[in-house]
Amino acid sequence: EHAPGFLYGLPIVVKDSEPLAGVRFVCGSPLYTNRIARETSPLLEILEAKGALIIGKTNTPEMCAGMHTFNPVFGATCNPHNPNCLAGGSSGGSAAALACGQAWLATGSDLGGSLRIPASYCGVLGFRPSSSEEAPGDVSGPMA
């Protein structure tokens, strides 16, 4: 038998830019309202293999493009500390879910601040791992 992974039983939420097999994969776009992911992303496969429990997907701006978290499919994600303020973007759904206690860990992605900005707006931690010299650009990272 295998020992439980180090994330065993930890409830997590994942940004809707990460496909999870059998679950809607919308990226906030009306073009993809009924799209169902056929495969699970490598990141989510690793998290599940380590024992994490994916309990939900989080809101993003349409096509994950924006420093806000509003889209025409699911609407706006408000800052849980002040509903009149933004949660930031594009990982604002993940940051807001953490800030209001829905999960202990979340995924996000970052090209120009999409992990760090919502984390700072919502009072949580967003970590942008360094990209390799060969492939700079968008990276996935954790929020807690």
Strands 53-58 and 11-15: parallel
User: Choosing from 15, 94, 109, 140, which is the catalytic residue?
Assistant: 15
Q: Active-site residue 114, yes or no? A: yes
User: Which residue of the set 41, 90, 94, 109 is catalytic?
Assistant: 90
Collapsing DSSP states into helix, strand and coil, what is residue 117?
helix
- How many Cβ atoms from other residues are within 10 Å of residue 129's Cβ? 11
Catalytic residue among 41, 91, 109, 114: 114
Closest listed residue to residue 96, CA positions, set 75, 120, 65, 72 = 120
Residues in the chain: 144
User: Any catalytic annotation for residue 29?
Assistant: no
Q: Residue 13: is it exposed, middle or buried by C-beta count within 10 angstroms (0-12/13-18/19+)?
A: buried
Q: What amino acid positions are annotated as catalytic residues? A: 15, 90, 114
